[in-house]
Amino acid sequence: MTMQRMALFRLQRKYAPYLFVTPFIVLFLLFGVYPLIKSLVLATYITSGPKSHLFVGLENFRFLLSDPDFHKAVRNTTVFAFFSVFLQLPLSLGLALLLNRELVKGRDFFRFSFFSPHLVGQVFVAVLFSVIFIPQFGLLNRVLHAVTGLALDTKWLTNPSLVMPALILTSLWMYVGFNMIYFLAALQAVDRELYDAAQVDGASAFQQFLHVTIPGIRPVAVFVMVLSTIGSFQLFELPYVMLGNSSGPEGAGLTVVMYLYNNGFVSGDLGYASAIGWSLALGVLLISLVQMRFTGTWKREE
Protein backbone atom coordinates (compact mmCIF):
# COMPACT_ATOMS: atom_id res chain seq x y z
CA MET A 1 0.00 0.00 0.00
CA THR A 2 2.65 2.53 1.03
CA MET A 3 4.88 1.26 -1.76
CA GLN A 4 2.12 1.98 -4.21
CA ARG A 5 1.59 5.45 -2.80
CA MET A 6 5.30 6.15 -2.99
CA ALA A 7 5.34 5.13 -6.62
CA LEU A 8 2.34 7.31 -7.34
CA PHE A 9 3.98 10.26 -5.57
CA ARG A 10 7.14 9.85 -7.64
CA LEU A 11 5.08 9.58 -10.81
CA GLN A 12 3.11 12.79 -10.22
CA ARG A 13 6.34 14.52 -9.36
CA LYS A 14 7.93 13.48 -12.62
CA TYR A 15 5.04 14.50 -14.84
CA ALA A 16 3.83 17.58 -12.95
CA PRO A 17 5.83 20.16 -14.95
CA TYR A 18 4.48 18.78 -18.23
CA LEU A 19 0.96 18.95 -16.85
CA PHE A 20 1.52 22.52 -15.68
CA VAL A 21 2.63 23.80 -19.07
CA THR A 22 0.08 21.77 -21.06
CA PRO A 23 -2.85 24.25 -21.01
CA PHE A 24 -0.48 27.00 -22.00
CA ILE A 25 1.19 24.98 -24.75
CA VAL A 26 -2.10 23.80 -26.25
CA LEU A 27 -3.59 27.30 -26.39
CA PHE A 28 -0.30 28.81 -27.52
CA LEU A 29 0.03 26.32 -30.38
CA LEU A 30 -3.58 26.76 -31.44
CA PHE A 31 -3.91 30.54 -31.15
CA GLY A 32 -0.28 31.65 -31.53
CA VAL A 33 1.91 29.35 -33.55
CA TYR A 34 -0.74 27.95 -35.91
CA PRO A 35 -2.10 31.37 -36.98
CA LEU A 36 1.45 32.61 -37.43
CA ILE A 37 2.26 29.84 -39.90
CA LYS A 38 -1.19 30.03 -41.44
CA SER A 39 -0.78 33.74 -42.12
CA LEU A 40 2.31 32.97 -44.23
CA VAL A 41 0.20 30.58 -46.30
CA LEU A 42 -2.75 32.97 -46.46
CA ALA A 43 -0.46 35.72 -47.72
CA THR A 44 -0.11 33.80 -50.98
CA TYR A 45 -3.87 33.75 -51.59
CA ILE A 46 -6.55 36.21 -52.57
CA THR A 47 -9.60 35.51 -50.43
CA SER A 48 -13.14 36.73 -50.20
CA GLY A 49 -14.17 36.12 -46.61
CA PRO A 50 -13.07 32.96 -44.83
CA LYS A 51 -14.51 30.59 -47.47
CA SER A 52 -13.18 31.25 -50.99
CA HIS A 53 -9.45 31.17 -51.80
CA LEU A 54 -7.40 31.72 -54.93
CA PHE A 55 -3.66 30.95 -54.95
CA VAL A 56 -1.60 33.83 -56.33
CA GLY A 57 1.92 33.12 -55.03
CA LEU A 58 3.87 36.28 -54.27
CA GLU A 59 1.42 38.47 -56.20
CA ASN A 60 0.09 40.07 -52.98
CA PHE A 61 3.55 41.31 -52.04
CA ARG A 62 4.24 42.56 -55.56
CA PHE A 63 0.93 44.40 -55.50
CA LEU A 64 1.80 45.94 -52.11
CA LEU A 65 4.98 47.44 -53.56
CA SER A 66 2.98 49.39 -56.13
CA ASP A 67 -0.11 50.09 -53.98
CA PRO A 68 -0.32 53.89 -53.44
CA ASP A 69 -2.62 53.48 -50.42
CA PHE A 70 -0.14 51.14 -48.75
CA HIS A 71 2.64 53.65 -49.44
CA LYS A 72 0.57 56.37 -47.83
CA ALA A 73 -0.13 54.15 -44.80
CA VAL A 74 3.58 53.37 -44.40
CA ARG A 75 4.52 57.03 -44.76
CA ASN A 76 1.97 58.19 -42.17
CA THR A 77 2.92 55.47 -39.70
CA THR A 78 6.63 56.20 -40.10
CA VAL A 79 6.13 59.92 -39.47
CA PHE A 80 4.14 59.06 -36.34
CA ALA A 81 6.81 56.63 -35.12
CA PHE A 82 9.56 59.18 -35.80
CA PHE A 83 7.93 61.76 -33.55
CA SER A 84 7.14 59.14 -30.91
CA VAL A 85 10.83 58.38 -30.58
CA PHE A 86 12.48 61.75 -31.17
CA LEU A 87 9.95 64.06 -29.53
CA GLN A 88 8.25 61.93 -26.89
CA LEU A 89 11.20 60.02 -25.43
CA PRO A 90 13.41 63.09 -24.79
CA LEU A 91 10.44 64.68 -23.01
CA SER A 92 9.93 61.51 -20.97
CA LEU A 93 13.58 61.58 -19.98
CA GLY A 94 13.29 65.28 -19.13
CA LEU A 95 10.36 64.65 -16.80
CA ALA A 96 12.20 61.77 -15.17
CA LEU A 97 15.26 63.99 -14.60
CA LEU A 98 13.07 66.65 -12.96
CA LEU A 99 11.53 64.08 -10.64
CA ASN A 100 14.80 62.34 -9.86
CA ARG A 101 16.16 65.20 -7.75
CA GLU A 102 16.32 64.24 -4.09
CA LEU A 103 14.78 67.50 -2.96
CA VAL A 104 11.47 67.03 -4.81
CA LYS A 105 8.58 66.83 -2.37
CA GLY A 106 5.39 65.11 -3.41
CA ARG A 107 7.17 62.96 -5.95
CA ASP A 108 4.46 60.28 -5.78
CA PHE A 109 1.79 62.83 -6.66
CA PHE A 110 3.71 64.19 -9.66
CA ARG A 111 4.59 60.71 -10.83
CA PHE A 112 0.96 59.65 -10.70
CA SER A 113 -0.34 62.73 -12.50
CA PHE A 114 2.20 62.30 -15.32
CA PHE A 115 1.45 58.60 -15.57
CA SER A 116 -2.35 58.74 -15.20
CA PRO A 117 -3.28 59.25 -18.91
CA HIS A 118 -1.90 55.79 -19.59
CA LEU A 119 -4.75 54.29 -17.56
CA VAL A 120 -7.18 55.57 -20.19
CA GLY A 121 -7.37 53.11 -23.08
CA GLN A 122 -6.68 54.30 -26.64
CA VAL A 123 -10.34 54.13 -27.67
CA PHE A 124 -11.45 56.24 -24.71
CA VAL A 125 -8.63 58.74 -25.27
CA ALA A 126 -9.71 58.93 -28.91
CA VAL A 127 -13.33 59.70 -27.99
CA LEU A 128 -12.24 62.31 -25.41
CA PHE A 129 -9.81 64.05 -27.76
CA SER A 130 -12.20 63.97 -30.72
CA VAL A 131 -14.33 66.37 -28.63
CA ILE A 132 -11.35 68.33 -27.27
CA PHE A 133 -10.22 68.94 -30.87
CA ILE A 134 -13.53 70.23 -32.30
CA PRO A 135 -13.35 73.72 -33.81
CA GLN A 136 -14.95 76.76 -32.11
CA PHE A 137 -15.91 75.09 -28.83
CA GLY A 138 -13.24 72.45 -28.22
CA LEU A 139 -10.98 72.87 -25.20
CA LEU A 140 -7.75 72.92 -27.21
CA ASN A 141 -8.77 75.69 -29.59
CA ARG A 142 -10.14 77.79 -26.74
CA VAL A 143 -6.93 77.51 -24.76
CA LEU A 144 -4.70 78.07 -27.80
CA HIS A 145 -6.86 81.01 -28.88
CA ALA A 146 -6.56 82.62 -25.47
CA VAL A 147 -2.82 82.00 -25.16
CA THR A 148 -1.46 82.33 -28.70
CA GLY A 149 -4.32 83.85 -30.67
CA LEU A 150 -4.66 80.79 -32.89
CA ALA A 151 -7.89 80.83 -34.93
CA LEU A 152 -10.83 79.35 -33.02
CA ASP A 153 -11.96 77.35 -36.04
CA THR A 154 -8.66 75.52 -36.53
CA LYS A 155 -9.90 72.20 -37.90
CA TRP A 156 -7.58 69.65 -36.33
CA LEU A 157 -9.33 66.54 -37.60
CA THR A 158 -10.66 67.70 -40.98
CA ASN A 159 -7.64 69.59 -42.31
CA PRO A 160 -5.34 66.94 -43.86
CA SER A 161 -2.15 68.69 -42.78
CA LEU A 162 -3.28 68.93 -39.13
CA VAL A 163 -4.42 65.33 -38.64
CA MET A 164 -0.92 63.99 -37.98
CA PRO A 165 0.01 66.77 -35.51
CA ALA A 166 -3.25 66.08 -33.66
CA LEU A 167 -2.44 62.36 -33.45
CA ILE A 168 1.11 63.04 -32.28
CA LEU A 169 -0.14 65.47 -29.64
CA THR A 170 -2.68 62.96 -28.35
CA SER A 171 -0.20 60.12 -28.10
CA LEU A 172 2.28 62.48 -26.44
CA TRP A 173 -0.28 63.08 -23.70
CA MET A 174 -0.95 59.36 -23.39
CA TYR A 175 2.57 57.96 -23.30
CA VAL A 176 5.03 60.61 -22.13
CA GLY A 177 4.41 59.79 -18.44
CA PHE A 178 4.32 56.05 -19.04
CA ASN A 179 7.79 56.06 -20.56
CA MET A 180 8.94 58.39 -17.81
CA ILE A 181 8.35 55.56 -15.28
CA TYR A 182 10.96 53.42 -17.06
CA PHE A 183 13.50 56.27 -17.19
CA LEU A 184 12.89 57.15 -13.56
CA ALA A 185 13.49 53.55 -12.49
CA ALA A 186 16.69 53.51 -14.54
CA LEU A 187 17.92 56.81 -13.11
CA GLN A 188 17.35 55.60 -9.58
CA ALA A 189 19.39 52.48 -10.30
CA VAL A 190 22.51 54.46 -11.34
CA ASP A 191 25.22 54.08 -8.71
CA ARG A 192 25.40 57.27 -6.55
CA GLU A 193 29.12 56.76 -6.01
CA LEU A 194 29.80 57.37 -9.70
CA TYR A 195 28.37 60.88 -9.35
CA ASP A 196 30.42 61.50 -6.21
CA ALA A 197 33.55 60.35 -7.99
CA ALA A 198 32.78 62.59 -10.99
CA GLN A 199 32.24 65.55 -8.68
CA VAL A 200 35.58 64.96 -7.00
CA ASP A 201 37.16 64.98 -10.45
CA GLY A 202 35.56 68.39 -11.04
CA ALA A 203 32.99 67.32 -13.65
CA SER A 204 30.21 69.85 -14.37
CA ALA A 205 26.54 68.89 -14.12
CA PHE A 206 26.40 68.52 -17.90
CA GLN A 207 29.55 66.39 -18.02
CA GLN A 208 28.09 64.19 -15.28
CA PHE A 209 24.93 63.76 -17.33
CA LEU A 210 26.93 62.87 -20.42
CA HIS A 211 29.43 60.48 -18.84
CA VAL A 212 27.56 58.99 -15.88
CA THR A 213 23.82 59.27 -16.46
CA ILE A 214 23.65 58.40 -20.16
CA PRO A 215 25.82 55.25 -19.98
CA GLY A 216 23.97 54.24 -16.80
CA ILE A 217 20.52 54.33 -18.34
CA ARG A 218 21.48 53.16 -21.83
CA PRO A 219 20.10 49.59 -21.60
CA VAL A 220 16.72 50.86 -20.40
CA ALA A 221 16.73 53.69 -22.95
CA VAL A 222 17.25 51.22 -25.79
CA PHE A 223 14.52 48.99 -24.37
CA VAL A 224 12.07 51.92 -24.22
CA MET A 225 13.02 53.11 -27.71
CA VAL A 226 12.53 49.69 -29.31
CA LEU A 227 9.26 49.18 -27.44
CA SER A 228 7.78 52.54 -28.40
CA THR A 229 8.86 52.12 -32.02
CA ILE A 230 7.10 48.76 -32.20
CA GLY A 231 4.05 50.26 -30.47
CA SER A 232 3.95 53.25 -32.81
CA PHE A 233 3.97 51.07 -35.89
CA GLN A 234 0.86 49.33 -34.55
CA LEU A 235 -1.08 52.62 -34.41
CA PHE A 236 -4.75 51.95 -35.13
CA GLU A 237 -7.38 52.76 -32.50
CA LEU A 238 -6.42 56.40 -32.01
CA PRO A 239 -6.91 57.55 -35.63
CA TYR A 240 -9.68 55.02 -36.39
CA VAL A 241 -11.95 56.22 -33.59
CA MET A 242 -10.93 59.90 -33.68
CA LEU A 243 -11.55 60.14 -37.41
CA GLY A 244 -14.98 58.47 -37.22
CA ASN A 245 -13.91 55.00 -38.42
CA SER A 246 -12.31 56.45 -41.55
CA SER A 247 -8.79 57.20 -42.68
CA GLY A 248 -9.47 60.92 -42.36
CA PRO A 249 -9.34 63.73 -44.96
CA GLU A 250 -7.29 62.63 -47.99
CA GLY A 251 -6.27 59.54 -46.01
CA ALA A 252 -4.10 61.68 -43.73
CA GLY A 253 -4.77 59.33 -40.83
CA LEU A 254 -4.38 56.03 -42.68
CA THR A 255 -2.00 53.68 -40.85
CA VAL A 256 -0.62 50.25 -41.74
CA VAL A 257 -2.83 48.39 -39.25
CA MET A 258 -5.88 50.39 -40.36
CA TYR A 259 -5.12 49.40 -43.95
CA LEU A 260 -4.79 45.77 -42.82
CA TYR A 261 -8.14 45.98 -41.01
CA ASN A 262 -9.91 47.61 -43.96
CA ASN A 263 -8.61 45.05 -46.45
CA GLY A 264 -9.12 42.00 -44.29
CA PHE A 265 -12.30 42.72 -42.42
CA VAL A 266 -14.15 45.36 -44.42
CA SER A 267 -13.30 44.14 -47.94
CA GLY A 268 -12.84 40.54 -46.77
CA ASP A 269 -9.45 39.81 -48.38
CA LEU A 270 -7.73 37.90 -45.56
CA GLY A 271 -4.87 37.04 -47.93
CA TYR A 272 -3.93 40.62 -48.68
CA ALA A 273 -4.37 41.47 -44.98
CA SER A 274 -1.87 38.72 -44.10
CA ALA A 275 0.59 40.10 -46.63
CA ILE A 276 0.25 43.55 -45.04
CA GLY A 277 0.69 41.97 -41.61
CA TRP A 278 3.91 40.23 -42.61
CA SER A 279 5.29 43.38 -44.19
CA LEU A 280 4.58 45.15 -40.92
CA ALA A 281 6.24 42.39 -38.89
CA LEU A 282 9.35 42.33 -41.08
CA GLY A 283 9.59 46.12 -41.14
CA VAL A 284 9.31 46.37 -37.37
CA LEU A 285 11.85 43.59 -36.88
CA LEU A 286 14.30 45.27 -39.24
CA ILE A 287 13.98 48.65 -37.52
CA SER A 288 14.40 47.08 -34.07
CA LEU A 289 17.57 45.31 -35.21
CA VAL A 290 18.96 48.54 -36.69
CA GLN A 291 18.19 50.40 -33.47
CA MET A 292 19.89 47.78 -31.33
CA ARG A 293 22.89 47.70 -33.65
CA PHE A 294 23.13 51.48 -33.80
CA THR A 295 23.01 51.87 -30.02
CA GLY A 296 25.66 49.23 -29.49
CA THR A 297 23.44 46.82 -27.58
CA TRP A 298 25.25 43.82 -28.99
CA LYS A 299 28.78 45.09 -28.69
CA ARG A 300 28.49 45.13 -24.91
CA GLU A 301 27.70 41.46 -24.82
CA GLU A 302 30.76 40.34 -26.76
Site for other proteins in 224-243 (CB under 8 A): 224, 230, 233-234, 236-237, 241
Query: Cβ contacts of residue 46 below 8 Å, gap of 6+?
Result: 53, 54, 56, 59, 60, 269, 271, 272
* Residues listed for the chain: 302
Cβ of residue 247: shortest distance to other proteins, in angstroms? 15
Pick out residues in 64-93 that bind other proteins (CB under 8 A).
none
- Does 194 bind other proteins (CB under 8 A)? Our answer is no
Counting contacts by CB under 8 A, is residue 186 touching other proteins? yes
What's 268's DSSP letter? -
In DSSP notation, 114-149 reads HHGGGGS-HHHHHHHHHHHT-TTTSHHHHHHHHHH-
Residue 297 DSSP code: T
Say whether residue 159 binds other proteins (CB under 8 A). no
Q: Which of 1, 4, 18, 302 binds other proteins (CB under 8 A)?
A: 18
Considering only the stretches 65-73, 75-83, 121-129, 160-168, report the one whose residues sit in contact with other proteins under the rule CB under 8 A: 121-129
Return the ∠ at Cα 252 (arms to 246 and 256), rounded to 5°.
75
Question: Which 30-49 positions form the footprint of other proteins (CB under 8 A)?
Answer: 30-36, 38-39, 42
Among the listed residues 76, 88, 122, 232, the single contact to other proteins using CB under 8 A: 122
Distance CA 225, CA 108 (A): 25
Kindly indicate which of the ranges 12-20, 57-65, 76-84, 290-298 contains the residues binding other proteins, using the contact rule CB under 8 A.
12-20
The yes or no reply on residue 55 touching other proteins (CB under 8 A) is no
